């Protein structure tokens, strides 16, 4: 099946710094990518939808200036957590899909802000 690669798998950063997470579709072109966040012991919550070549659409309650999403090509979307704080510590997962087929999920990134 199709592969979505997410990098890094784990990252620890200091409070106030920014962290970039990459999501790549390795063997297909993804017109749309999704970013999810998973708090401990909770389900995945959709943060934003990223469309290649256009601005991301953020879900209600998600700060677009804090969670910057860039979808520069059909195979790469990035999520940058700006000025990270300990409450941003979470598990972030990206998903990519091609129209009229299924969605494929990355392996996730565990972000710890200290």
Partner 1 sequence: AQSVTQLDSQVPVFEEAPVELRCNYSSSVSVYLFWYVQYPNQGLQLLLKYLSGSTLVKGINGFEAEFNKSQTSFHLRKPSVHISDTAEYFCAVSDRNFNKFYFGSGTKLNVKP
E strands in 1-114: 4-7, 10-13, 19-25, 32-38, 44-51, 57-58, 67-73, 76-81, 90-97, 103-105, 109-113
* Nearest-approach distance from CB 44 to partner 1, in angstroms: 5
Among 72, 65, 75, 69, CA closest to 96: 75
> Among 14-22, 40-48, 70-78, 79-87, which window interacts with partner 1 (CB under 8 A)?
40-48
Is residue 49 at the binding interface for partner 1, with CB under 8 A as the rule?
A: yes
Contacts of 36 (CB under 8 A, 6+ apart): 44, 45, 46, 47, 92, 93, 94, 95
> Among 12-20, 39-47, 70-78, 79-87, which window interacts with partner 1 (CB under 8 A)?
39-47
Which residue among 40, 43, 53, 54 contacts partner 1 (CB under 8 A)?
A: 43
Q: With CB under 8 A, what is the number of residues at the site for partner 1?
A: 23
Within 81-100, the residues that bind partner 1 by CB under 8 A are 91, 93, 95, 97, 99-100
Nearest residue (CB) to partner 1, 6 versus 75: 6
DSSP 100: T
């Amino acid at each position: 099946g199709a592969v979505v690669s997410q990098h890094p798998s784990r990252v620890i950063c200091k409070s106030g710094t920014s962290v970039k997470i990459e999501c790549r579709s390795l063997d297909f072109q993804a017109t749309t990518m999704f970013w999810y966040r998973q708090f401990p012991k909770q389900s995945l919550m959709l943060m934003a939808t990223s469309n290649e070549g256009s601005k991301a659409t953020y879900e209600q309650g998600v700060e677009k200036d804090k969670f910057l999403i860039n979808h520069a090509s059909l195979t790469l979307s990035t999520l940058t957590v700006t000025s990270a704080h300990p409450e941003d510590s979470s598990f972030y997962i990206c998903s990519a899909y091609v129209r009229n087929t299924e969605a494929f999920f990355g392996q996730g990134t565990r972000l710890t802000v200290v």
